[in-house]
A and B are shown apart, each in its own frame.
Chain A
Amino acid sequence: MGVLLEVKDLAVRFYTQDGVVHAVNGISYTLNEGETLGVVGESGSGKSVHALSMLKLIPIPPGKIESGQVLFEGQDLLKMSDEEIRQIRGGKIAMVFQDPMTSLNPVLTIGKQITEALQLHLGMNDKQAKNRAGELLDMVGIPDAHRRLGDYPHQFSGGMRQRVMIAMGLSCNPQLLIADEPTTALDVTIQAQIIELVKKLKDELGMAMIWITHDLGVVAGLADTIQVMYAGRIMERGPVRAVFKDTRNAYTLGLLKSLPRLDIKKGATRLVQISGSPPDMHTDPVGDPFAPRNPYATPRCWEETPPLRPVEDGDPDHYVAAWYDLRQAVKEKPYEEAMQG
């Protein structure tokens, strides 16, 4: 499988009236064709901004892409002209956003909202686009699809609207679908349905996907690779199994420990919240950004920012940014104990 997307040292800041927000602080990673990457982190950790910046969709100003390259099929998206990046948006890279209530235009029919991309990128005429839009709605499981093209977003339920958004995202057969917390605004049963739908469609269509969420549990069954972000940096990255079973970063461990699990034996563990407050994005932190909340932090964590490096004797695709050795530290003091003391 070839490399589809390569992000190199991407840094994004917002110059606001209250100061500079260091939203993304030099992240690098690659995504293969057909791979599903789950990007996880608390809200405010720069997940959305990193994704939007790739397609130059952040508001500029106040936003500014400070450095980096985003190579898609070998071409740097950040260097493209407006016209060139428009060909990519919605054509080769599509996005699905968090809130289906506000992400669809309330005064245009969903038919119109789906067909405009088809006409733009695939050059379809009105009739072809309408037919295709009907097929797409059918594909994402909207009953009576062709008749509903003339309906407006408010005539659909939240889950159905997110299905519409997904149909819209998939309409031009993108090579990469970026889903930014697509299920966060939905209730749990609907959330599960949407995840099932996306899994099925991904198997059928084979595109690569970046699934952004603040919920590790959601990506566990969906992603090939997990990438944990904190304060605009990648803290840990690796195959799902490696990250879950051989966790190397204290923040990842904190996320895992605060996850309700069904397979835990009676009395084994309580849920443990990560203590301390989220990072202040207004200062460019010196050292490991998670150090203030990390019970295993070493003096070096406060002084020097750890680079993202391959882990020692683990999966070759498993990377971590940490000065401490989490396996050793947990052996000496289990996480639950460390969080209390």
Chain B
Amino acid sequence: MFVYIIRRLLSSIPVILLLTFVIFALMRAIPGGPFDFAGDKSLPKAVTANLERRHHLDWPLGWQFSSYVLGDDITAGICTGLAFLPGCDAVQATADAGISQGLIRGDLGMAMKQRGRTVNDLVAESLPISFQLGMIALALAIVIGIPAGILSALRQNTWLDYSSSFVAVLGLSIPNLVLGPLLIWLFPLTLGWFQVATWGAKPPFILGLFPTNFFTWEFWSHAILPAFTLGTAFSASIARLTRASLLQVIREDYIRTARSKGLRERSVMLVHALKNSLIPVITVLGPLLVILVTGTFVVEQIFGIPGMGKYFVTSISSRDYPVITSVSLIFAVLLVLANLVVDIVYAWLDPRIQYS
């Protein structure tokens, strides 16, 4: 298992690097650059040129990527060895270890539009918030979705099943863009419950990710509404899927075998049916996580949460190349990790799956 995990992680590196390069190149292919405008007025030509040179925008694309991944010193080193490569003179002229130590040393580069701030700073303060929001929403989706699905299946075609189905369809069909503002209007604005805007947890975070005030009202008063907004659609699809899957499973021969042994209906369901019925649910959890991640962008915008979604949106329009590249990279890594966790849970549920 351990070997499998390591292998999975290593084998995902090329994909992530390729993805990073595509984002890196695509962003630079969009017309306009980070220093074309500053506020309303454009900067003097000389200043722009200076800034561009400082951030290596005068280098050929390949060398820029090399600087992002390997750092300026190694890139300059390569140029010393292979000086005949095109663009090497520019590299050697302006290489500066202060700009980029390279991904391989955990440096995501300098933000171009936020003077003096590194991308690492931005990520360290915003990623944990997005992470917390996403995890709470996911937990909510699972904690509501799976029991609701089980109940609907066990009470198939009763009012309980119908009302759960109704709520699920409702939850699936209301976009976050509508649900979020509706909740804001209803609870904080009309009833005065909960908080809007900002987030209840501040750095420092435990292990760089987890809030220190998790068990306080301060944290939850900010978290509940956005997590609910983000989680409803997922809990609805999980509930629907759990219901369908369980109804399928209870028709299987081995359920009849379990009943023929004289087991109580509760053991038949919880011991024999549930584990089998969760296998397809886990399978779709991987793709659902992708939607969850992109969903956080929208929900963060609606609720004014200072998460990473803000950078994802603003850095595209402001052409802040290192920020957008790094944010994409982080989301890619998160998805790889999430899918790995899904696969491990999958193997635990279904002994027929062998990882070696």
Q: Report which A residues bind B (CB closer than 8 A).
A: 52, 55, 57, 59, 82, 86-91, 94-95, 97, 99, 102-108, 116-117, 120-121, 152, 154, 165, 168
Q: Tell me if A105 and B264 are in contact (CB < 8 A).
A: no
Determine the chain A residues whose CB is within 8 A of the CB of B263 once the complex forms.
86, 90, 116-117, 120
Give Cα distance in the complex from A95 to B257, angstroms: 8
- How many whole Å from B171's CB to the nearest CB in chain A? 29
11 A-B pairs besides A95-B260, A103-B254, A108-B275 with CB distance below 8 A are: A57-B260, A59-B251, A102-B253, A102-B254, A103-B257, A107-B279, A107-B349, A107-B350, A117-B261, A120-B262, A154-B351
Q: Which of A90, A152, A154 contacts B260 (CB 8 A)?
A: A90
Determine the chain A residues whose CB is within 8 A of the CB of B272 once the complex forms.
105, 108
Give Cα distance in the complex from A86 to B279, angstroms: 29
Give Cα distance in the complex from A168 to B254, angstroms: 13
Number of interface residues of B (CB under 8 A): 24
Q: Tell me if A152 and B351 are in contact (CB < 8 A).
A: yes
Determine the chain A residues whose CB is within 8 A of the CB of B256 once the complex forms.
52, 57, 97, 103
A-B contact pairs, 10 of them (CB 8 A): A59-B251, A86-B264, A90-B262, A102-B252, A103-B254, A104-B254, A108-B272, A117-B262, A117-B263, A154-B352
Also in contact, A89 and B253, with CB within 8 A (given A106-B351, A107-B350, A152-B352): no
Determine the chain A residues whose CB is within 8 A of the CB of B349 once the complex forms.
107
Also in contact, A97 and B262, with CB within 8 A (given A105-B272, A107-B351): no
B276 at the interface (CB under 8 A from A): yes
Give Cα distance in the complex from A105 to B276, angstroms: 9
Determine the chain A residues whose CB is within 8 A of the CB of B8 once the complex forms.
none
Give Cα distance in the complex from A198 to B257, angstroms: 19
Determine the chain B residues whose CB is within 8 A of the CB of A152 once the complex forms.
351-352
Give Cα distance in the complex from A187 to B265, angstroms: 34
Also in contact, A89 and B276, with CB within 8 A (given A97-B256, A102-B252, A154-B351): no
Q: Tell me if A97 and B253 are in contact (CB < 8 A).
A: yes
B294 at the interface (CB under 8 A from A): no
Q: Which of B259, B260, B267, B279 contacts A116 (CB 8 A)?
A: B267
B61 at the interface (CB under 8 A from A): no
**Chain B interface, DSSP helix/strand/loop, else mixed:** helix
Determine the chain A residues whose CB is within 8 A of the CB of B276 once the complex forms.
105-107
Q: Tell me if A105 and B258 are in contact (CB < 8 A).
A: yes
B271 at the interface (CB under 8 A from A): yes
Query: Which of chain B's residues 269-314 have a Cβ closer than 8 Å to chain A?
Result: 271-272, 275-276, 279
Q: Tell me if B262 and A103 are in contact (CB < 8 A).
A: no
- How many whole Å from A103's CB to the nearest CB in chain B? 5
For the complex of A and B, 8 pairs with smallest distance between CB atoms: A90-B261, A89-B262, A90-B262, A102-B253, A105-B254, A152-B351, A95-B260, A117-B261
Q: Tell me if B261 and A168 are in contact (CB < 8 A).
A: yes
- How many whole Å from B346's CB to the nearest CB in chain A? 11
Determine the chain A residues whose CB is within 8 A of the CB of B275 once the complex forms.
107-108
Give Cα distance in the complex from A116 to B259, angstroms: 12
Task: Name the CB-closest residue of A to B251.
Answer: A59
Determine the chain A residues whose CB is within 8 A of the CB of B251 once the complex forms.
59
Give Cα distance in the complex from A59 to B253, angstroms: 12
Q: Which of A82, A87, A103, A154 contacts B253 (CB 8 A)?
A: A103
Q: Tell me if B254 and A55 are in contact (CB < 8 A).
A: no
Give Cα distance in the complex from A59 to B261, angstroms: 16
Task: Name the CB-closest residue of A to B278.
Answer: A107
Task: Name the CB-closest residue of A to B260.
Answer: A95
Give Cα distance in the complex from A106 to B275, angstroms: 10
Query: Which of chain B's residues 192-215 have a Cβ closer than 8 Å to chain A?
Result: none
Determine the chain B residues whose CB is within 8 A of the CB of A103 once the complex forms.
253-254, 256-257
Task: Name the CB-closest residue of B to A151.
Answer: B351
Q: Which of A90, A91, A106, A120 contacts B352 (CB 8 A)?
A: A106
